[in-house]
Amino acid sequence: MKGPGKLSIKARITLWYAALIVMICTVAIGFLFFVSRHAQDVYCRDTLQSAMVVILDEMEIEHGVLEIDADIDEIPNVYASLFAPDGSLIYGRRRVDAPFEREAVRTVSDGTHSWVILDEWVDLPDYEPVWVRLHVSADLSAGVSHAIWRVCLLMLPLLAAAALLGGYMITKGALSPVVQMTQTASAIAQGSDLSQRCMPAGYGADGDELHMLSDTLDAMLDRLEASFEREKRFTGDAAHELRTPLNAMRMQGEYALSRDSKEEKDEGIALMLEKNEEMRMLVDQLLMLARLEAGRMPMEDNVDLAAMIEGIAQDMEPVAQEKDMRILTVLQAAGVRGNRAMLMRAVINLVDNAIRYGREGGTVRIELENSGDGVCIRVTDDGEGLKPDALAHVFERFWRADGARTTQGTGIGLSIVQLAARAHGGSAQVHSEYGKGCMFTIRLPEK
């Protein structure tokens, strides 16, 4: 919203457009006036000089008498006068009193009329020298110039009005898509309907600046809509996942309170603590997800991936032994710069996932490969694997395969794996053949 006393963009563009048109017209008129005056001056000078050549050819001395051909008075718009050296008039008419200047084209005035004059000193054989003065009226050319100037000055207000009207119409048409975008954005802000888009219906000129602006705004709305949808789904899924342990804790609490036996009370309390631990793990992972998505995780650690993975394998070995499984590592030296805790959590989640869904008595294989242009971490199990239609959902929050719903887990461990890989400029993929196990891969750029 524009403040008090401030012009709208439409008004400012219109005024600038009109001012520019008027300025251009003023400069053009001035240039036209200058060119016109210059052309008139050149015309007068050339006319006088040409006439002087003709007149000099018509002057003769016969028997000591200056003979002047009457044809010199028939030169169009040029008046000729001859003067003795003392300035007395010999022929023609004294139209203006002005000192003689040899071969000088000048503009002089007698107070009533203006004249352009040319003087020439002529040495005649067997006769005294004479001054030849040619006149041409400057009033006519000046009148034409003044008439042009007056007409142009009268046209300037009309040009200004036309420029204002044209500028307003052009600006209105050019900014109408912006007005529609503003109205759409305002409707979205007031109604929270993120499905609307800013591109005006029927607007053409694909690829212009307004298309680029609307595409940028629409892309932003797409991301916002997707983000809100994820948050809504996330909130619903989190509430659903937390409801189960909360209900279990309530039931165990009621069970413990209703029992007189200490052993039964202790059993209920132990189950409550177990469910509480599940909730703590879920909340911790939710907090990590939130930090990953907000980009608030520091990325300043120099991580020795081989040492980190070897430590994880040793820590997870007792968990694997409970299912009579073993962990096999094949590690090359490699390192990245990033967040050690985030990468450790991602690898732990993959190893825990492989132990959880792997075949009893099987093997979890962890590989670290340094290819020169990046680092690859693979965790492979020999469990049942995933069906083809499940592969697209593996990294979704709270998604769990049908066979996995009977096992303990939060359903967001693999989401953390994917977000951790992306936060480090990498990616996470899964490859599985149903009945032959799964292989999860994290690809990272090397430090």
Distance CA 97, CA 100 (A): 9
d(CA 93, CA 100): 15
Predicted local confidence at residue 132, as pLDDT: 85
What is the C-alpha separation between 2 and 9, in angstroms, rounded?
9
pLDDT at site 441? 93
What b/e readout covers 21-48, taking b as 16+ CB neighbours within 10 angstroms? Answer: bbeebeeebeeeeeeeeeebeeebeebb
Mean pLDDT by 10 residues, the chain (447 residues): 59 75 78 78 82 77 66 73 85 79 81 82 81 80 66 74 76 70 72 64 59 74 72 67 73 81 82 77 70 70 91 91 92 89 89 90 92 88 85 76 51 83 90 88 85
Q: Count CB-CB contacts under 10 A for residue 50.
A: 13
The tokens of 61 are what?
Answer: 């001395």
β partners of residue 108? 115
Which structure tokens are listed for 90? 């010999």
Q: Residue 278's CB: how many other CB atoms inside 10 A?
A: 19
Q: Nearest Cα to 325, choosing from 268, 261, 285, 383?
A: 383
Q: Which residue's entry shows tokens 């066979």?
A: 403
Question: What is the SS3 string spanning 401-416?
Answer: CHHHCCCCCCCCHHHH
User: Angle of helix 9-58 relative to helix 139-191, nearest 10 degrees?
Assistant: 160
The tokens for 345 are 């959590």
> How many CB atoms lie under 10 A from the CB of residue 426?
20
Dig out the tokens for 17 from the structure.
Answer: 């457009």
pLDDT of residue 415: 84
Q: Which two tokens stand for residue 179?
A: 């007005």
pTM assigned to the model:
0.49
pLDDT of residue 270: 84
* 430 φ, ψ (degrees, to nearest 5): -130, 140
Q: What is the pLDDT of residue 32?
A: 76
Interior CA angle at 235 toward 227 and 297, to 5°?
60
Q: 3-state SS of the chain? A: CCCCCCCCHHHHHHHHHHHHHHHHHHHHHHHHHHHHHHHHHHHHHHHHHHHHHHHHHHEEEECCEEEECHHHHHCCCEEEEEECCCCCEEECCCCCCCCCCECCEEEEECCCCEEEEEEEEECCCCCCCEEEEEEEECHHHHHHHHHHHHHHHHHHHHHHHHHHHHHHHHHHHHHHHHHHHHHHHHHHHHHCCCCCCCCCCCCCCCCCHHHHHHHHHHHHHHHHHHHHHHHHHHHHHHHHHHHHHHHHHHHHHHHHHHCCCHHHHHHHHHHHHHHHHHHHHHHHHHHHHHHHHHCCCCCCEEEEHHHHHHHHHHHHHHHHHCCCCEEEEEECCCEEEECHHHHHHHHHHHHHHHHHHCCCCCEEEEEEEECCCCEEEEEECCCCCCCHHHHHHCCCCCCCCHHHCCCCCCCCHHHHHHHHHHHCCCEEEEEECCCCCEEEEEEECCC
Does the structural domain 298-444 have CATH classification 3.30.1300.10?
no
- Domains of the chain: which residue ranges? 1-192, 194-296, 298-444
pLDDT at 404 (0 to 100): 46
- Which of 1.10.3720.10, 3.30.70.20, 1.10.287.130, 3.40.50.150 would CATH assign to domain 194-296? 1.10.287.130
